[in-house]
Structure 1
Amino acid sequence: MGIQRMDNVGIVVDDMEDAKAFFIELGLELEGTAPIEGPWVDRILGLPDVRTEIAMLRTPDGHSRLELTAFHHPAPVTPAPAPPPPHTLGFCRLMFAVDDIKDTVARLHTHGGELLGEITRFQDAYLLCYLRGPGGVIIALAEALG
């Protein structure tokens, strides 16, 4: 059988409160938070004595979810070079469709969001940009034109 859906995308963050504030400012809605620990998690991750906190957020349309995870034990590992550039093999980014890209960038800037380049126009279809968010994750924004 094939897959049913993509359930969520997970991001490891160092500051849960800052990360939640960033993504809530973007427009995601907090579903809930929970501590995650125990032998079952150790076995899934292949790490000993895992203790984490997660926050689950969903897009306003209810079709996509984002799981933020803060590791209390073992300590999170920082990639080298930190943060990795957008052309790193295996690196992913999240793209969100927004109503007003300039306003969204300005609001996210107050939560630590930094443009990697600039807001650019792609033909007559979109305004696009990449910015770095919590934990170094790259967020792409797209505003449809017309």
Structure 2
Amino acid sequence: MLRYVHTNIIARDTARLTAFYKETLGCKSIGQTRDLRGPWLDRLTGLPHAHITGEHLLLPGYDATHPTLEIFSYDSLRNTLPPEVNLPGLAHIAFEVDDVQDTLAAILAAGGGQVGEVVTAAYPNNMEAMFVYARDPEGNIIELQSWRQVATTQS
């Protein structure tokens, strides 16, 4: 078997970031919280005395168990530069939403930010997409997108 299971975000404040993803982007608690430690975790992470806490949130639009967004924190966090859209590695997570501008406004009101402009792009088969990159309250990049069929003109 092969299936996608989760994406992990390491948070400075798991409670705040978990609430943000629930309230702003419709993720739901599935009752899977974690408080992990022990020799097996030290070996897995390569960190002595590792301790992870957090929660799995069901991503909107899927069944009752997967895929999830895992929002965890370690007792000891390293400082890093904020994510950017053009840095190598994982760049963003994306959500398809009904209204990009309304969702962006909710993200901004919840303490998030905006990276670039809201743009609209034409796609094949008379499809049009609206996109924007935003940031959650801890700076992680979120792509918002909405799609619609564009009416064609008859001659």
Higher relative contact order (CA 8 A, sep 6+): 1
Q: Distance in 2 between matches of 1:102 and 1:136?
A: 19
Partner residue in 2 for 1:145? 148
Point out the more displaced range, 105-114 or 49-58. 105-114
Deviation at 1:135, TM superposition (A): 3.0
Unaligned runs of 5+ in 1: none
Partner residue in 2 for 1:96? 95
Deviation at 1:103, TM superposition (A): 1.3
Are positions 1:53 and 2:53 aligned together? yes
- Structure 1 runs (4+) deviating above 2 angstroms are none
Alignment TM-score, normalising by the size of structure 1? 0.88
Question: Is contact 2:84-2:91 (8 Å) kept?
Answer: no
Q: Distance in 2 between matches of 1:71 and 1:131?
A: 25
Q: Distance in 2 between matches of 1:38 and 1:135?
A: 28
Q: For 1:2-13, list aligned pairs within 5 A.
A: 4-13=2-11
Identity of aligned residues (%): 31
Point out the more displaced range, 28-37 or 46-55. 28-37
One-letter code of the match for 2:22?
A: I
Paired positions, count = 140
> Can you list the C-alpha shifts for 1:46-104, whole angstroms capped at 9, x where unaligned?
100011212100123224211011111xx11122xx21321111132101111111111
RMSD: 1.5
Larger Rg: 2
From the superposition, tell whether residues 55 and 70 of structure 1 become closer, same or farther in structure 2 (CA, over 3 Å): same
Partner residue in 1 for 2:78? 77
Question: Is contact 2:83-2:141 (8 Å) kept?
Answer: no
Partner residue in 2 for 1:41? 41
Partner residue in 1 for 2:12? 14
Question: Is contact 1:12-1:135 (8 Å) kept?
Answer: no
